[in-house]
Structure 1
Amino acid sequence: MASQSTIGIIGAMDVEVALLKKQMQKCGEVHTTAFSGMEFIEGVIGQTSVVVVKCGVGMVNAATCTQILIDRFGVGAVLNTGIAGSLDAAIEIGDVVVATDAVNHIMDVSNLGYAVGQTPGADTLAFPMDEKLSCAVVDAAAKIGVTTHRGRVASGDRFVCSDSEKQRITKAFDAKCCEMEGAAIANVCHLANTPCAIVRAISDKADGSSSVDYPTFEVQAAHHCAELVIHAISSLA
């Protein structure tokens, strides 16, 4: 069982957590426990206790994973690492977005008077990030020469690959990037009063060129983001 000082680290795909697992094995023994078809790997990065897990793609998988980290492992914070599509022309492939908050861009109950993205009953439209954890990532990025951008992350169960969809999300939410898990993780953390940070490396421009860019840059961007997370986690001890 992890402690309140433990950080849970979630990636959606193998490529997003592979480097983290290797780093944990270098730092000492690891222990793996399976819940809900997911492998939760306990160990350390630097001198920080972590639980690393591949949640699988999508909002339901991400939310389930986050709740398990909080309930069964008692983590004190959750960090989501992975790749995303850029929604801002100033953010290039290989750059990193460190979230200020996260929204569910698929949620739409506006016909009942709610703002687009607002979940009925929720006390906020955008789920906030933990500033201390987020700043640790930004500081680590500056030390290793990674270009970072702060801003909103938009999430939903849809791979954004058209300019029209990109424009819809940008107009409605003024988000910096889009992906498929972050807002679900942030939502669960918000409800559980657990600090959260989202770190996303840009793998494509989310503008219709994904079929070319995504296979080419997926592994590179995921590795890039995981490397940054390792530096940030190591600096927290």
Structure 2
Amino acid sequence: MTGIIGAMDEEIAKLQSLMDIEKTGKIGGMEFFLGQLEGKGIVLVKCGIGKVNAALCAQTLIDKFSAVKIIFTGVAGAADPELDIGDVVIASDTMYHDVDAGAFGYLRGQIPRLPVRAFPADPDLIAAAKRAAEDTVGSRVFIGRILTGDQFIANKEEALRLGSELNGLCLEMEGAGVGQVCYYYSIPYLLIRCISDKADGTAPKDFRSFCQQAADTAARIICGILRHT
């Protein structure tokens, strides 16, 4: 069973319309949709915004639905000047940008007493996503680190500074929470983000419309991943 997560309704609506829903259920305030997509068993869920919601959702997918891999989809703000609105970023790994235990000798982004600083995404899922994304959106597909924090970064200088210091391509609020849970359980995971803004306060005027466009793109990519894994 593959778990597929989005933080907002707009990020899962397209996938929900494409899948054959066999059963629904609520756990911890989250509604889970069980069914088939591209001939594969999936569980689709909206986790809500933020790291704790995302981690709780990933844990629930593992504990209650025996998920063997987890894919997170949604939008993000650019942290690299090369990225433009509509570009697709596939995570090579995820890392927190708002964790700092440097006073105890840890690198920024590293959880104390955890041996890793970043949580690697699954290589097979990355390869499948790259192939599916290139078939969907062409050349504007990037693979690299995605940075997570419980902050909406709307300052361009701050976004670019974080991207430069932590070697990240984009900023969002959930991914590393999923990555950390999957790291603990050795569950393959992947994060796919569509760039919604340049982290400078100038998101598309019709953000809801853009989210729909981004969700459509992500849905096609996820269908491609399911076909090839």
> What interval of TM-score do these two structures reach, taking the shorter chain for normalisation?
over 0.9
The letter for the 2-side match of 1:44 is: Q
1:182 to 134, 150, 175: 175
Following superposition, the deviation at residue 124 of structure 1 comes to 0.4
Match of 1:50 in 2: 42
When the two chains are superposed, the root-mean-square deviation of aligned CA atoms in Å is 1.5
Match of 1:128 in 2: 120
1:141 matched to 2:133: yes
**Matched residues in 1 for 2:207 and 2:111: separation?**
30
Following superposition, the deviation at residue 174 of structure 1 comes to 1.1
| Aligned positions of 1:103-182 closer than 5 A | 103-146=95-138, 147-182=140-175
Following superposition, the deviation at residue 235 of structure 1 comes to 3.0
Alpha carbons 1:203, 1:213 under 8 Å: kept: no
Match of 2:12 in 1: 17
Following superposition, the deviation at residue 212 of structure 1 comes to 4.2
Alpha carbons 2:70, 2:190 under 8 Å: kept: yes
- Other structure's SS at 1:72 match: helix
Task: Please list the CA deviations of residues 58-80 of structure 1 after superposition, one character each: whole Å capped at 9, or x if unmatched.
Answer: 00000000000011111100000
The letter for the 2-side match of 1:202 is: I
Classify 1:225/1:109 alpha carbon distance in 2 versus 1 (closer, same or farther; 3 Å). same
Task: Name the count of aligned residue pairs.
Answer: 228
Following superposition, the deviation at residue 155 of structure 1 comes to 0.5
Classify 1:44/1:211 alpha carbon distance in 2 versus 1 (closer, same or farther; 3 Å). closer
2:83 to 91, 96, 100: 91
Classify 1:204/1:215 alpha carbon distance in 2 versus 1 (closer, same or farther; 3 Å). farther
- Other structure's SS at 1:22 match: helix
1:37 matched to 2:32: no
TM-score between the two structures when normalised by the length of structure 2: 0.94
Match of 1:3 in 2: none
Q: Among the aligned pairs, what percent are the same residue?
A: 39
